[in-house]
Structure formats: C-alpha cells, structure tokens
Amino acid sequence: MRILDLSTGLMLVLFFLIWPIFQFTAFHVASKIFDCYLSPHSKGFRPQAWENNGEIYNSLFKIHRWKRYLPDGGAIVKKDFNKKKLASFSKAHLEIFLEESCRAELSHWLAITPFWLFGFIAPFEVVPFMLIYALAANVPCIMAQRYNRPRIERVLSKMNAKPE
C-alpha cells in the first residue's frame, strides 16, 4: 500500500538516505542488547549441523579470500572493539570477541528486516529489489560472523584443555 507518490529521482534519493538510517538503527538496537543474551551457545548463534562448524562458508563461498574486505561497523562506531583483527589472544579477549560477533550478526539480521517498508513509498515491484539489496549488503557479514565464531571457539577450547 503506497502512501507517498514521489518522482523516481526523489524516491532514489530517499532510498539512499533511508538505508543507512536502517543500518545504523539496527546497529544501535543490537548495541543495547545485554551481553548475557549474546551467547554463542544460544540456539540462534551456535553453528548448525549443515554449517559444518563454519566450513561451508569456506568451501562454497571461499570466505577466507574476501572477508577481510568487509567493513567492521563495531570498530567504526564504537571505536573500542575491532573484529577485523584480533588485538589479543587472551581468553578474556576471545570471549568478548564471541559476544561481539553475535552482536554483529544480530545487527545484520535486524538490518535486513525493514526492506518491506519501501513498499510504502515505492511501487510494489521495487520491494523485491530492496530485499535483494538488503541481503547483498548483510548476508556476507552474517556469513563472516558464522565462519569466525567456530574458529575462535576451537582456540578457546584448546586453551581450556591446556593445564595452567
């Protein structure tokens, strides 16, 4: 149900303004979630059997070749936790990394969901293109989180297995 009738040019300008607002809002909402809800072992964040501990992303999509080119929004906005490069291999740092990885994944899932709102200002035929854009902009980042988390968990598991 279209509520605004805008020219194509104005509509495109509005799209370019709205998408960053959606992304930032999703990030802001995810940043307010308490850490206790961001466990990598919770149902939504733990690896699924079909993911083969994240290896599916490497075997099908060669993620190790391109994930370094993805932006790290948390490091840009928060300026305190960089997921692009591990600052430390301490157990505490790796555990924070896991939580922040869950937060990043959640923010990207949230950023996909408002694509349907474009149906209020654009012809219905535009909405599938907005979904395609939302998926293209966010799914690679979700994949990177789901690829990295099992790898970090393996490192933590080895650390915990070593006698101190």
Residue range 9-59, pLDDT digits in tens: 888 888 889 999 999 999 999 989 888 889 999 999 999 999 999 999 999
Question: Which 8-state DSSP code applies to residue 121?
Answer: T
User: What average pLDDT does the chain have?
Assistant: 88
Q: What residue type is assigned to position 12 of the chain?
A: L
Q: Can you give the pTM of this predicted structure?
A: 0.87
- What is the tally of helices (H) and strands (E) in the chain? 6, 0
Domain locations in the chain as residue ranges: 8-161
User: What would the DSSP string read from start to end of 5-57?
Assistant: ---HHHHHHHHHHHHHHHHHHHHHHHHTS-GGG--TTSTTTSPPGGGTTTHHH
Question: Which 8-state DSSP code applies to residue 114?
Answer: G
Which residues, 6+ apart, have CB-to-CB distance to 2 below 8 Å? 119, 120, 121, 122, 123, 124
